[in-house]
Structure 1
Amino acid sequence: SKAVEIAKILDMDKPTISGIVKRLEKKKLITKTRNIEDSRSYCLQLTAEGKRIVQTCQQLSDDLMGLFLEPLTPQEVTGLQKVLMKLNKEEVQWKQF
């Protein structure tokens, strides 16, 4: 991915993303290479260690979500998902103002 694309997805400005990229690169969690299609930009890629950390975080997130939703019935989980998706859709519409 390109840093500009990540900035858009995360709704952060370019200098903030640049600082994060530098820290991740210093920790050897990502690599940064010149974009062959546009030499003014770089492509970012997770290293093996970066991928391992992402997988660990995803597992932790899944485990925590399971604990959080444990008291709910499957129907209640489905209802909660629908409400959250509706709120997310409304947030997108509000951002347009």
Structure 2
Amino acid sequence: MPTRHDNPEALSKFTGSLVRRAQQRHVAVWLNEVSAEITSVQYAALEILHKTPGVNQRQLGDELDVDRSTIADLVARMVRNGLIERSDDPVDKRSYVLFLTADGKKQLASLRPRVEEVERILTARLTQRESLELRRLLLALLPPQE
């Protein structure tokens, strides 16, 4: 029976397959280096709320590029876990504004160096220029931000 290494060209023929495999590697490294409880999307939410406290749920969803039901679930989970708090938006009573809790700030500070280690591991075989080029190319695959 042929192995996946018998035909390396077949493995790299399709961009989607490579992106999927790279994402699987990212998840494995994340679980090993960072956390099984905090996902990379939750970490990104913590970073956004650190930089822009008081954004509303819709704005956070837009920043994370996730749909409304996904952001609602994500926020509810993070509130339950004591990482963020939500309050009524003083401008739009139908909306919530979000802030990091003290635990959320502590968690963010403890995760940052581990997230940087994930980046180092994932790009270890690339030069700095190649890492920047990889990010540029990945961004080019995404739809333009509105």
- For structure 1, which runs of at least 5 residues remain unmatched after alignment? none
Q: Kindly provide the amino acid, as one letter, of the partner of residue 106 in structure 2.
A: R
The equivalent residue for 1:32 is 86
Relative contact order higher in (CA < 8 Å, ≥ 6 apart): 2
The equivalent residue for 1:87 is 138
Q: What whole-Å deviation, never above 9, does each CA across 1:46-87 have from its counterpart, x for those lacking one?
A: 101111112222210112323444455xxx212331242133
Label 1:87 to 1:16 Cα distance change in 2 as closer, same or farther (>3 A): closer
Percent identical among aligned pairs is: 23
Distance, in Å, in 1 between the alignment partners of 2:138 and 2:80 is 38
Distance, in Å, in 1 between the alignment partners of 2:89 and 2:125 is 48
Q: Which structure dedicates a bigger proportion of its chain to helix?
A: 1
- For structure 2, which runs of at least 5 residues remain unmatched after alignment? 1-54
Does 1:14 find its partner at 2:62? Answer: no
Label 1:65 to 1:12 Cα distance change in 2 as closer, same or farther (>3 A): closer
Match runs of 1:42-53 below 5 Å: 42-53=96-107
Distance, in Å, in 2 between the alignment partners of 1:10 and 1:35 is 20
Could you say what secondary structure the match of 1:6 adopts?
A: helix
Q: Kindly provide the amino acid, as one letter, of the partner of residue 10 in structure 1.
A: L
TM-score (norm 2): 0.53
Label 1:87 to 1:13 Cα distance change in 2 as closer, same or farther (>3 A): closer
Aligned residues: 92
Could you say what secondary structure the match of 2:142 adopts?
A: helix
TM-score (norm 1): 0.76
Deviates more, 1:35-44 or 1:4-13: 4-13
The equivalent residue for 1:57 is 111
Label 1:24 to 1:83 Cα distance change in 2 as closer, same or farther (>3 A): closer
Distance, in Å, in 2 between the alignment partners of 1:91 and 1:63 is 25
